[in-house]
Chain A
């Protein structure tokens, strides 16, 4: 695909009508929570946009993020937007292999220095970890990442592993896994978390970048507010049951069949910020809670270590019963010591106690 083609030319070549294109622009605007007045601007910008070079780095990951992006039903917005970028390097999707593949990456970096986007999925064994834990073509993930981001315009961390470390970083984190934002400090970074992330969140961010030439508004975890601005709980269609105090207490009880709130089954919806409740999955078919399963909180940091998936948000991950017993025993010993010391003192004093005598009292008269 020629990088010089604009998106408009690209779409027309694929037979997408002007009407269909505007529909896409409107959908993008609403997706990104932009006012409708911006739709013409999006259309104008997209029509003129050159396909940016994208280098997709896969590290300690499961390819679920790529699956999420590519397995969506055609024709989709995300499919359209994929056509709008020049994906110059992607382990799973590229035709080239071996040295040719690496050469393509280096070529793209040279040709588009300062302008290309780096998409990362998977976590990276940090600089202090054994570099052999994860390598590509004999180079450590860390080395490849640092080399690749050096002249990048921005970095997009796709999936919870890249955004927060995800499963590889779960305790005890044997590979010393790190999130992208822990390693890259001098580039704009967007985290599109989720295990996997919602495809529209990825395409939405790309559309925004193509339209405005900059990254969208982010939350404290550098996630696009358009997708991560509201919690699952706040937008959950089962929320009225929570508010009324109607809960499923097991997976096959009456409450579960009635579609009541899954809080007590461990739903992490209250603490999880993502767009599942509004975007849903598989082309809007359903999403975990609608399928009767509590939210795992996959788009949040440390979600693997945040306590049991099937325990309510309020339950602490674990209580060290032995330490607690030890503390109690220590307390009992300290208390006993205090009491016995006081008793000892008073007993000593009582042995030398001077009784009150009439003579002493008379002196007070």
Chain B
């Protein structure tokens, strides 16, 4: 039976090298400014966590095989080999101390997209058998059970019952011909069931035709985090199959950062073809409803609120203005963190770090950057729109005894909906009906 090996790892790294990677490595002057954008370096002071250093295995493969000079050097016996031991040494650098937040990609003076290359390097790490246990386990569970946490539809069905009972609305399931297929993340289902309740209310309010799918409800993608296009592609295919089966024209990614980039940006390339539907983050959908005048809210939160932009949503997907526009709808005392939007700081948990038990201490260390940002603004509550970020913020703030609750933006919108909106005729027939 086949086995993960160094040879496969090196072949995978070679396969990942393209013109941008070659241009990036050709341009690096080792100025080290990328370290100044990395929470893992800044909060530990350990120069090993300099982003460009994490890419050394990929850089060596590029130099040895993809440059004339590197080939000459190798021929002269001066080349630097990538060994199994090296990859083992680099595993914590590539997984434990990097959330692929992409902040270094925004800061590098020569324009190197380091996060792009970290993602590529992880392909080689998986193929060579150097991925962290936590991520391997999550990937296996995701493929075998459909959820990285091993969650089954029956658990979701219980949540649906709760939601229907508390809202008096119907949660549409497997409704063919709906406009939107709503995807969820296991973490939301377990930790933040209020999310499902909130979108049920909002979509009913706005008259959105939507549905869940029993065939596939999980949008997170452990394959993206571990860095295996094989695993990732299979998980994406499940979403595509579910969406195609129900004939929806739009798929909504949950409040989960990497799930969104996985299905929005990587998915079509993983499966090698464009989708027959469009993909939106729930925040994009809500803002579209707001712009179309389909969200009627009343009252505003009076306390001082600030917001954490998930890296995958803001910096890596360009959703920055939308959440602020929505905040304007429901909050009157909103203040942004100093560096936000495309220059926000990662919470420290993304990119698979939260699934990697070994990385716990680093995850908490990286959070200190976020903590400092929050302390500077002194909000009474934090708002965010990613289950992983939200969990990290809650755990981190608790660790440092900061009494700042964290809320999801979607729930906050739902709480301010006008009770009896003028329901359009079409919406009344298609969305959930009052019991």
- Which residues of A are in contact with B by a Cβ distance under 8 Å? 334-335, 338-339, 342, 345-346, 349-350, 353-365
Contact = CB atoms under 8 A, between A and B. Distances in A.
Interface of B: 1-4, 8, 11, 14-15, 17, 65-68, 71, 126-127, 129, 131, 133, 136-137, 139-140, 143-144, 228, 230-231
Contacts of A364: 4, 129, 131, 133, 136
B11 A353 contact: yes
Contact of A349 (B1, B14, B68): B14
A362 B143 CA distance: 11
Given A349-B14, A356-B228, A338 B139 contact: no
A332 to B, nearest CB: 11
A215 to B, nearest CB: 53
Contacts of A346: 11, 14-15, 17
A353 B139 CA distance: 20
B235 to A, nearest CB: 12
Contact of A359 (B1, B71, B137): B1
By secondary structure, the B interface counts as helix
Nearest to A360: B4
A358 B11 CA distance: 19
Given A335-B68, A345-B65, A346-B14, 18 more contacts: A334-B68, A342-B14, A346-B15, A346-B17, A349-B11, A349-B14, A353-B11, A353-B15, A356-B4, A356-B126, A356-B127, A356-B230, A361-B131, A361-B140, A362-B140, A363-B4, A364-B131, A364-B133
Nearest to B231: A356
Contacts of A354: 2, 8
A338 B72 CA distance: 11
Contacts of A359: 1
Contacts of B4: 356, 360-361, 363-364
B137 A360 contact: no
Contacts of A358: 139-140, 143-144, 231
B171 to A, nearest CB: 31
Nearest to A338: B68
B11 A361 contact: no
Contacts of A349: 11, 14-15
Contacts, number: 64
Nearest to B3: A360
26 contacts: A334-B68, A335-B68, A342-B65, A342-B66, A345-B14, A346-B14, A346-B17, A349-B11, A349-B14, A349-B15, A354-B8, A355-B230, A356-B4, A356-B126, A357-B2, A357-B230, A359-B1, A360-B2, A360-B129, A361-B126, A361-B131, A361-B136, A363-B3, A364-B129, A364-B136, A365-B137
Nearest to B133: A365
A356 B231 CA distance: 7
A342 B133 CA distance: 32
A346 B133 CA distance: 28
Nearest to A352: B11
Contacts of B65: 342, 345
A107 B14 CA distance: 87
B17 A342 contact: yes
Contacts of B228: 356
A108 to B, nearest CB: 66
A364 B2 CA distance: 13
B126 A338 contact: no
B397 to A, nearest CB: 33
Contact of B140 (A345, A353, A365): A365
A339 B66 contact: yes
A338 B66 contact: yes
Contacts of B8: 354
B202 to A, nearest CB: 37
Nearest to B22: A339
A350 B11 CA distance: 8
B220 to A, nearest CB: 17
Contacts of B66: 338-339, 342
3 A-B pairs closest in CB distance: A355-B230, A349-B11, A356-B230
Nearest to B126: A356
Contacts of B144: 358
A356 B9 CA distance: 11
Contacts of B129: 360, 364
A338 B140 contact: no
Contacts of B137: 365
Nearest to B5: A354
Contact of A338 (B2, B14, B71, B231): B71
Contacts of B71: 338
A334 B70 CA distance: 13
Contacts of A356: 4, 126-127, 228, 230-231
B292 to A, nearest CB: 43
Nearest to A334: B68
A357 B137 CA distance: 13
A299 B41 CA distance: 63
- Find the residue from A350, A358, A360, A363 having the highest chain B CB count within 10 A: A360
Nearest to A362: B140
